[in-house]
Every structure is written in C-alpha cells, then in structure tokens.
C-alpha cells in the first residue's frame, strides 16, 4: 500500500473514477481500445470461443463484453455486471445480459460460467479478498478465471516529470479510497489458495507514445480526478503540464504494470467458500 503508517485509513471506500462523469464513456472507450487487444489474445488462448458462458465483472464501457458477445454468441452466454452499467445499454441487442450489481454485496450466479473476467476492477475494491472467492465460485467445473489488474508500485518512483508526479498522487488518492496498488502481484498465490489449477501469470509494462489512445485515456483520467489531485497538493500547473506532455507525440511513457493471472476450476469440485 502507498503511504506511511500515518496515512489516513480508508473510512468509506468508494470508486474514484465513477461512470457518471461527463467524459467517462470516452475515457472507458480509450481504455478498451488500449487494452482489449491483449485481453482478447489471452482470452482466445484460454479457450473462449463460440458457446462459452462468460461473466464480465466490472464491465465499465463494455468493449470487452462486446467482443465476448461477438465471440461466444449465439450458443453461449454473456453476463456483464457493473455497479453502474449505464454504458452497457447496447449489450442486450447483441444478445448479452446486463445487471446492475455491487460485487461486494450482491449475489452472483454460482457454478455457471466457463470464463469469468475482471480488468482493473478488483484493485479498486476494498473488499477484494471477499469478492475474489465469489468470482471463483461463479465458475463451472473446468471454467477459467482471468484477472487483469494494475500494479502501480513497481515503476511509480521511476516515472519522471509531471506525468510521474501526477501518477503518484493519483495512485495515493485511489488507495485513500480503498484501492490497493500492489495487491495484483500476489494474484497467482490468491488463485492457488482458492483451489484453482493450471495457474498462469505474467506482467506487462506498456510503453506508450504521447497522443496515443493510452495517453489520451490518462489525460482524461487526470481531468476526472483534477479536484482530488489538487486536494493532495498537486498544483493545477503540474496537472496541465502532465496533460500537455501526454499530448506530445515525441514523448514516450511507462504505463503502470498490468498483472494477468488465470486459473481453472477443477473438473470435480469448485473453489473454496
């Protein structure tokens, strides 16, 4: 976790980048465009195909759920859930199902899915250690759980310039709201402790150009959390500089690492409570 032992404990966890923000649809579309290619390649390698029964948890802008619909349907099932599913309204027309569901409190179907997926969701949820076993219980025997979650700490201190300063404050703001920017590095152990088998994991650090989709996504992120950043004593000038750097096509940046970990439910029994 970021911060000293004196850091205020998260009293009232909340999601720092709510989907109701004016430009959230654009930001989530950029996130999907930047990360879907890797997610799709991995999902295909794990066997997602026509007829797969899929649960997309924390579906956000829905780009990956749309790919699941195009791939698994007809014949399979795609259930996309989110605490705020306002950007998922087109999924039923594609044959998918949408549910407004808080992963921390609401029940999920059990033992019904061949593929359960999250991307940049669990790191934000303070109750992630109770949500994870529930996602595992949603797996049918032989089903795959794939988690793609950010791990900010490995490169945080290496990020130079205004981008680095803003990223460090942003990461801290998420942790004050209940996120954990270093939890993802233990994903393989978490999956194994749940009784999943065939564990696979890797970490990728995207390197991206200013002006790219990933750069525009981060620039919009700094716009969405502008007030929070200034409350953490980042000056508006530094935020403006960081956004200008992100628009500069001659600059290259490190993104926070993405940990991708998957595990399979045994054929004979499913994960622990």
Ligand X SMILES: C[S@@+](CC[C@H](N)C(=O)[O-])C[C@H]1O[C@@H](n2cnc3c(N)ncnc32)[C@H](O)[C@@H]1O
User: Which of 102, 129, 204, 248 is the binder for ligand X (CB under 6 A)?
Assistant: 102
Q: 162-168: long-range contacts at Cβ-Cβ below 8 A with a sequence spacing of 24 or more?
A: 162/238, 162/239, 162/241, 162/242, 162/245, 163/218, 163/242, 163/245, 163/246, 163/253, 165/234, 165/238, 165/242, 166/222, 166/229, 166/234, 166/238, 166/239, 166/242, 167/256, 168/2
CB of 250 to ligand X, least distance (A): 28
Q: Which range binds ligand X by CB under 6 A, 54-62, 157-165, 221-229, 254-262?
A: 54-62
Tell me how crowded residue 81 is: count the other CB atoms within 10 A of its CB.
Answer: 22
125 binds ligand X per the rule CB under 6 A: yes
Q: How far is CA 140 from CA 71, 132, 144, 149, 266, in A?
A: 19, 15, 8, 22, 9
**Least Å from the CB of residue 14 to ligand X:** 9
Q: Does 120 bind ligand X (CB under 6 A)?
A: yes
Partner residues linked to 254 by β-bridges: 207
Among the residue ranges 97-105, 108-116, 156-164, 252-260, the one whose residues contact ligand X (CB under 6 A) = 97-105
Burial of 211 (0-12, 13-18, 19+ CB in 10 A): middle
For position 58 contacting ligand X by CB under 6 A, the verdict is: yes
Please state, in angstroms and rounded to a whole number, the distance separating the CA atoms of residues 250 and 40. 29
- Judged by CB under 6 A, the stretch of 68-76, 119-127, 135-143, 215-223 that binds ligand X is 119-127
Q: Based on CB atoms, which residue is closest to ligand X, 33 or 73?
A: 33
d(Cα 65, Cα 120) in Å, to the nearest integer? 14
The binder of ligand X chosen from 68, 71, 78, 82 (CB under 6 A): 82
**Contact between 53 and ligand X per CB under 6 A:** no
d(CA 24, CA 9): 27
Q: Does position 19 bind ligand X by CB under 6 A?
A: yes
97 contacts ligand X (rule: CB under 6 A): no
**Binding status of residue 119 toward ligand X by CB under 6 A:** yes
The residue of the chain with the least Cβ separation from ligand X equals 60
x/- mask, ligand X, residues 20-49, rule CB under 6 A, reads --------x--xx-----------------
Stretch that binds ligand X, among 57-65, 139-147, 168-176, 235-243 (CB under 6 A): 57-65
Give the residue with the Cβ less far from ligand X, 144 or 238.
144
Question: Per CB under 6 A, which of residues 175..234 are in contact with ligand X?
Answer: none
Instruction: Answer whether 14's CB lies under 8 Å from 20's CB.
Output: no
CA distance 77 to 52: 6
Nearer to ligand X, 170 or 238 (CB): 170
Residues in contact with ligand X by the rule CB under 6 A: 15, 19, 28, 31-32, 58-61, 82-84, 102-104, 119-121, 124-125
């Amino acid at each position: 976790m970021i911060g000293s032992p004196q850091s205020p404990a998260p009293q009232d966890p909340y999601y720092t980048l709510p989907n109701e923000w004016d430009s959230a649809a654009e930001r989530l579309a950029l996130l999907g465009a930047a990360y879907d290619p890797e997610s799709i390649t991995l999902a295909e390698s794990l066997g997602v195909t026509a007829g797969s029964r899929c649960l997309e948890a924390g579906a956000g802008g829905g780009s990956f759920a749309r790919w699941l619909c195009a791939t698994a349907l007809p014949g399979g099932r795609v259930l996309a859930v989110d605490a705020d599913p306002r950007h998922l309204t087109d999924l039923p027309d594609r044959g998918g199902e949408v549910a407004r569901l808080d992963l921390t409190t609401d029940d999920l179907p059990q033992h019904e899915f061949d593929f359960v997926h999250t991307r940049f969701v669990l790191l934000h949820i303070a109750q992630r250690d109770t949500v994870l076993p529930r996602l595992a219980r949603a797996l049918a025997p032989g089903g795959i759980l794939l988690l793609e979650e950010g791990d900010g700490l490995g490169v945080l201190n290496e990020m130079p310039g205004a981008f680095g300063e803003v990223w460090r404050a942003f990461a801290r703001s998420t942790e004050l709201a209940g996120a954990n920017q270093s939890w993802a590095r233990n994903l393989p152990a978490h999956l194994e402790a749940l009784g999943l088998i065939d564990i696979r994991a890797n970490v990728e650090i995207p390197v991206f150009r200013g002006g790219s989709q990933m750069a525009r996504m981060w620039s919009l992120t700094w716009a969405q959390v502008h007030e929070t950043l200034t409350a953490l004593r980042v000056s508006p000038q530094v935020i403006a500089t960081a956004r200008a750097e992100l628009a500069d096509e001659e600059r290259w940046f490190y993104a926070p690492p993405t940990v991708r970990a998957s595990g399979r439910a045994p054929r004979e029994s499913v994960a622990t409570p």
